[in-house]
A and B are shown apart, each in its own frame.
Chain A
């Protein structure tokens, strides 16, 4: 067996892909990193460093650094929390929901999406802890028997959120690891040297015997079936953090489906942002094809349209309800001092995806990449608008003229969160197969005596 690092590019089979070609092409992504990879990793770590420094200042001097001013006490950190949880959602959609729907195209992209989910939840989970002010008391969130016999208030949506996010992180992590095991075994059987030792340990003795597959495939099905309602519940619960309060602009029954659609929209955007460079860097053009990107774009179009519809409904209900506070809040949102944030969100999330009706754009990878960045910007601003602008514009508040501006501590910690996310993601794609080996092979026609070497 040749070392992965020096293995030559496998020759492209003449008719369709073969099992061997898929295994070797994906295993080659784990070879020795190039200078470009180290450069990317270094920038991610540097960005994380900026965040860590800002966080240290925040720990030392307190939340006063965060630019809060009455009545805006939820701002960039909560925005980032909702943004990152949202990013996570499309990963589970692609890995679990499309698995139950038997969409064959998901196999090439789901591992990347799933890894993105785990790292996005890891990033999101930091923000409530940063936001709580006395960060060293974070464990007070956990229901544990303390000396005063106090327990968390289970009627609070914040406690629901903690349970939802905790469950989501655990389940998406075990789902990712579960899917990785057969692939690590495949890499183990090709690798040499220290990589062989590492993958032998991580593959937990997987050999692909009939007994292993029998329990594995069943278990995988049940995990997908459990993850599907979970992913819908998690962003619903996140939306109830807002909808359960009476702030105009938050207090709406629309919030759960609106947030779930927005989460998947932003997540698919991030999947495209991540897949385009990975495909290029790792030469996976044969495995992740334009067809896959087109399907992701269609998913973007669908969820973007739901988000656009939700925006229309929000404004319509604000007017139709006849509630003066609700009307004032939405007037403030569109034409108040934060008009630029609101219109960024509306243009990026409601109008931009309409371009995806055009097949030429759906199949143009560069165009999709650029669009996906705007999707991410738009969805970040959606959360900013919902959280900050709704609070700043509380129309019943006499002192609501307070303006809010994020400070360097806010921006720094937000930048750090991107560094943290990309650092984990880059480490993952270099050490574990970023595309599922066994599932890509599963959707290929199997080699039979009549159809030698896997052709169509």
Chain B
């Protein structure tokens, strides 16, 4: 998608970065793409992107990526939420004490409900933040690499960034692994 009006140069580069040169392979079969990932790894490629319409464990295993750091966000959010709930209920109780029947002003058992709900709320929201943050920063070349609308339907894809000198080799590799279609950018 091109921006409708011409932009000054720094903005132009930010909003419409030049496309990354490379090769896009379109695959119909999940075992073919797993084979291609293995051969790319063997060939020393590490910086490629795999598209799939559904998350598949075969692809995940072939890529061998570390566990997503989203869990740190969830944990931090949960702990922060619990702390916030504790502070909210206890501080507000002591700020305007309602003394009834000599019972403790800040009584923890009923406040567990508030602490629990805040743990869940903050945990869930920071999980979302974690997904957005990580997915956005991970896709730092977003929009500059080739994509095909069939990747959300029924095709799998691999984009391998490669200069003009290496593109030919990558093309052959993808084709021999079973790519239906290979394109160059």
Tell me the A residues contacting B by CB distance below 8 Å: 1, 18-20, 23, 143, 149-155, 159-160, 163-164, 166-167, 170-171, 174-175, 178, 182, 185-186, 188-190, 200, 205-219, 222-223, 226-227, 229-230, 233, 237, 438-439, 441-442, 446-450, 452
Contact = CB atoms under 8 A, between A and B. Distances in A.
Given A149-B95, A448-B29, A215 B135 contact: yes
B53 to A, nearest CB: 6
B123 A226 contact: yes
A211 B159 CA distance: 13
Given A143-B88, A222-B71, A178 B128 contact: yes
Contacts of B176: none
Contact of A446 (B51, B56, B88, B143): B56
Interface core residue of A1, A153, A190, A209 (most chain B CB under 10 Å): A209
10 contacts: A18-B154, A20-B153, A23-B153, A190-B153, A210-B50, A213-B60, A219-B131, A229-B116, A447-B154, A448-B31
A226 B120 contact: yes
Given A174-B124, A214-B65, A237 B153 contact: no
B133 to A, nearest CB: 9
Interface of B: 1, 28-32, 49-56, 58-60, 63, 65, 67-71, 74, 78, 88-89, 92-93, 95-96, 98, 107, 110-111, 113-114, 116-118, 120-121, 123-125, 127-128, 130-131, 134-135, 138-139, 142-143, 147, 149-154, 178
B113 A209 contact: no
B118 A210 contact: no
A108 to B, nearest CB: 14
A111 B53 CA distance: 18
Q: Is the interface of A mostly helix, strand, loop or mixed?
A: helix
A24 to B, nearest CB: 8
Main secondary structure of the interface of B (DSSP, over half): helix
Given A175-B124, A215-B135, A222-B127, 6 more contacts: A1-B149, A210-B50, A211-B135, A213-B60, A215-B131, A449-B29
B31 to A, nearest CB: 4
Nearest to B103: A155
A449 B95 CA distance: 69
A154 B91 CA distance: 11
B93 A154 contact: yes
A449 B178 contact: yes
A442 B143 CA distance: 26
A167 B154 contact: no
A66 B16 CA distance: 61
A167 B92 CA distance: 20
Contacts of A150: 96
A218 B120 contact: no
Contact of A208 (B31, B93, B152): B152
B135 A216 contact: yes
A186 B155 CA distance: 12
A18 B153 CA distance: 10
A151 B121 contact: no
A208 B51 contact: yes
A304 B147 CA distance: 49
Contact of B153 (A178, A189, A216, A227): A189
A200 B71 CA distance: 28
A216 B135 CA distance: 8
A441 B68 contact: no
